[in-house]
């Protein structure tokens, strides 16, 4: 569905079901130069299990109006505004990579609007390799090649996947090529420049889950565990052998991990 936010169109995929206004809201935030489609399976599961699923295209991505926002802080403000547009209460924020930084920053900035966090392929900081930054700055196709190869685990890079007949590496490359010119550059610079992760983590008081790839080259598993240690009560799930692009690479495994956020948590 298309919604208006401050005069600009925002595309929101609802997981195949219309929103029931009395259901809790789950907002899915994608990574750099991607769009709502990476959340196809996860959003559908939430939509069919009692949630209003909202897999969004961030500004300037997919079917949402631009321009792309140039900082994680600006994207966090935008996310909280979208939550206010879609719900009277709180939302569960589910973010991958750049989207995990946005979700983390939003939870620190607007705690009254956030019911819980799922941070996937996450770390307190996501420094970007200088060669990738340089290639993205000129829309060099090498940037897409680097991001695709570094983003997937070894098995996925060679073609292994849960859906027979699909070429995972080619699919990631095609998705990145669909991004408008300059968007990858803006997104990678926003990730590289963000320094507020640990300060934001210290402010988080909602149930938080981190799902990490054991062989993640972009947000190494150790960095994700360090972020989890900075968030009170955070839980960690590690996907064995997986890389960075978990929503694409391990979709069902990710759904299984996310389901724990929808179940009642034991009293402390």
What CATH number is associated with residue 11? 3.40.50.1820
Asked, for residue 167, whether it belongs to a domain, the answer is yes
SS3 state at 204: coil
* Residues 6 or more apart whose Cβ sits within 8 Å of residue 231: 117, 201, 204, 208
pLDDT at residue 264, as a whole number? 46
Q: At what angle do helices 168-177 and 141-151 cross, to 10 degrees?
A: 140
* Residue ranges with strand state E in the chain: 2-5, 8-13, 25-29, 52-56, 91-96, 114-120, 208-213, 235-239
Say whether pLDDT at 232 is over 70: yes
Q: Which of 164-173, 179-188, 254-263 has the lowest mean pLDDT?
A: 164-173
Distances from the Cα of 77 to the Cαs of 50, 107, 113, in angstroms?
27, 10, 11
pLDDT at residue 162, rounded to an integer? 63
Is the pTM higher than 0.85?
A: yes
Mean per-residue pLDDT, 67-92? 95
Confidence of residue 265 (pLDDT cuts 50, 70, 90): very low
pLDDT for the residue numbered 220: 96
User: Is residue 198 scored above 90 in pLDDT?
Assistant: yes
What tokens does 170 get?
């080619």
Q: What is the pLDDT of residue 133?
A: 97
Is 120 inside a domain boundary?
A: yes
Looking at residues 167-179, what average pLDDT do you find?
A: 90
pLDDT tens, position by position, 129-172: 999 999 999 999 999 999 998 998 877 777 666 666 677 888 89
- In 14-135, the DSSP E strands lie at 25-29, 52-56, 91-96, 114-120
- Give the side-chain half-sphere CA count within 13 A for 245: 27
d(Cα 254, Cα 238) in Å, to the nearest integer? 10
State residue 161's pLDDT score: 63
Q: Report how far residue 163's alpha carbon sits from residue 215's, in angstroms, rounded to the nearest whole number.
A: 21
pLDDT score for 254: 95
Average pLDDT over residues 34-42: 96
Residue 103 tokens, joined: 């979700």
CA distances from 224 to 4, 159, 187 (A): 34, 26, 20
The domain tally of the chain equals 1
Cα–Cα dist 48/55, whole Å: 14
Burial of 218 (0-12, 13-18, 19+ CB in 10 A): buried
Q: How far apart are CA 65 and CA 36, in angstroms?
A: 14
Strand partners, 237: 211
Helix and strand counts by DSSP (H, E) for the chain? 12, 8
Task: Provide the mean pLDDT of the chain.
Answer: 92
Q: What is the pLDDT of residue 214?
A: 95
Give the Cα separation of 247 and 96 in Å (integer): 8
% the chain with pLDDT above 90 = 84
Domain carrying residue 139: 2-262
Phi and psi at residue 4, to the nearest 5°: -100, 130
Asked whether residue 268 is assigned to any structural domain, the reply reads no
Mean pLDDT of 119-129: 97
Q: Is the pLDDT of residue 210 over 90?
A: yes
For the segment 2-21, what is each residue's pLDDT rounded down to a tens digit?
Answer: 999 989 999 999 998 888 77
- Domain presence at residue 231: yes
pLDDT at 34: 97
Region 161-186: mean pLDDT is 86
| Averaged pLDDT for residues 90-104 | 97
In a domain, 267, yes or no: no
């Amino acid at each position: 569905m298309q919604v208006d936010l401050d005069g600009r169109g925002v595309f929101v995929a609802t997981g195949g079901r219309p929103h029931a206004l009395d259901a809790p809201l789950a907002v899915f935030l994608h990574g750099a130069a991607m769009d709502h489609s990476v959340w196809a399976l996860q959003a559908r599961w939430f939509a069919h299990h009692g949630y209003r699923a909202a897999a969004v295209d961030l500004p300037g991505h997919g079917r949402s109006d631009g321009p792309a926002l140039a900082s994680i802080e600006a994207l966090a403000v935008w996310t909280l505004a979208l939550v206010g547009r879609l719900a009277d209460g709180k939302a569960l924020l589910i973010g991958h990579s750049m989207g995990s930084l946005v979700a983390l920053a939003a939870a620190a900035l607007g705690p009254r609007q956030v019911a819980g966090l799922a941070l996937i392929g996450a770390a307190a900081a996501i420094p970007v390799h200088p060669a990738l930054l340089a290639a993205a700055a000129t829309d060099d196709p090498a940037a897409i090649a680097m991001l695709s190869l570094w983003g997937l685990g070894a098995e996925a890079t060679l073609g292994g996947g849960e859906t027979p007949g699909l070429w995972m590496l080619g699919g990631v490359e095609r998705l990145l090529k669909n991004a408008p010119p300059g968007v990858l550059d803006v997104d990678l610079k926003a990730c590289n420049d963000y320094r507020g992760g640990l300060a934001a983590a210290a402010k988080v008081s909602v149930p938080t889950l981190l799902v990490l790839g054991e062989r993640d080259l972009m947000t190494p598993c150790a960095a994700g565990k360090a972020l989890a240690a900075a968030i009170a009560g955070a839980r960690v799930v590690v996907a064995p052998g997986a890389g960075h692009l978990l929503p694409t690479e391990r979709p069902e495994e990710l759904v299984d991990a996310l389901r724990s956020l929808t179940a009642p948590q034991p009293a402390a």
